[in-house]
Amino acid sequence: KEAVEVRCAAAMGLGLTARTANLKLLQAASRTVDTQQDVLVGYVLLARGMLGDRNILGPAKALLSSDRTDMGGILGRRAAVLGLGLIGTREAVPILMAAWHLNYYVNHEVALSFSLCRVHNVAEPLVKLLNDKIGAEDFAAYCLGELFLADRPGRLTRLIRNGNYMMKNERLMPYQRMANEFLYRYLIAAFGKEWR
C-alpha cells in the first residue's frame, strides 16, 4: 500500500512541475500500472491531465466505465475526472456526463471538471445536472457561476478554492507552508487518515 502512495505522490510531483517533458515519464508509468490499483491509475491520469495530455481520454473512459466505492476506487475516479477537466477539451464532456452517476463523491468532481473545462459545450450539461436528484444540484449551480465569472482565476486555483476543511489530515498541518498549496489542500488531504 505504501508503494502505491509513493507512486501517486511521484506522479503528482511530475504533473505539478508543468513541464511537458515529464509526459513521456507519466505515459510510461501508465503502461506499468496495475489496472486493479484504481487510485494509482487515477492519479497518473490526473498528472497527465495537468500537463495537457489529451491521450488520457481513452484510459479515463475505461476507468470511469465502472464504479467502485472503496477508498481507492473513489479517489482514483475523482482524480481521473479532474484530469479530464484540466485538459479542457470538448471530447471529455460525454465521458464526464457518463461519470456523473457513478457515486456521490465522483459527481461533485464531475461538476467541478465541467467548470475547469471551459469549453463551449459544457454549460448545457451543467444545466441538466441542476435537475438531477442525486444531491449535488447546488454544486452544479456553483460551477455554472464559476464558468461565467468575469475574472477567471487559473485552473488549479479554482480546483482548490473552498476546499473541504474536514478532509484535512491534522498531522500535515505543520508542513502546509512548505508544501505546494495545491498538493496539500486537495490531493494529499483527500486521502484523509489513510495517508502516512
Residue-wise pLDDT for 59-100, tens only, equals 999 999 988 888 889 999 999 999 999 998 889 989 988 888
Closest CA to 127 of 108, 110, 140, 146: 140
pLDDT given at position 93: 87
pLDDT of residue 164 exceeding 60, the answer is no
Q: Which of 54-58, 69-73, 187-191 has the lowest mean pLDDT?
A: 187-191
Closest CA to 112 of 48, 14, 46: 46
Q: What is the pTM of this model?
A: 0.71
pLDDT given at position 196: 47
> Tell me: the pLDDT tens digits for 2-26?
788 899 999 999 998 888 899 999 9
pLDDT given at position 43: 95
2-194: CATH number: 1.25.10.10
pLDDT given at position 97: 85
Between 185 and 41, whose confidence is greater?
41
> Tell me: the pLDDT tens digits for 107-163?
778 877 877 776 766 777 777 777 766 666 777 777 777 667 656 555 555 455 555
Contacts of range 133-140, beta carbons closer than 8 Å, 24 or more positions apart:
134/100, 134/101, 134/104, 134/107, 135/104, 136/104, 136/107, 136/108, 136/111, 139/108, 139/111, 139/112, 140/111, 140/114
188 φ, ψ (degrees, to nearest 5): -65, -40
What pLDDT band is residue 185 in, cutting at 50, 70 and 90?
low
Region 27-48: mean pLDDT is: 92
pLDDT given at position 36: 85
Expressed in angstroms, the distance from the first to the final Cα of the chain is: 10
Closest CA to 64 of 31, 107, 25: 107
pLDDT given at position 50: 92
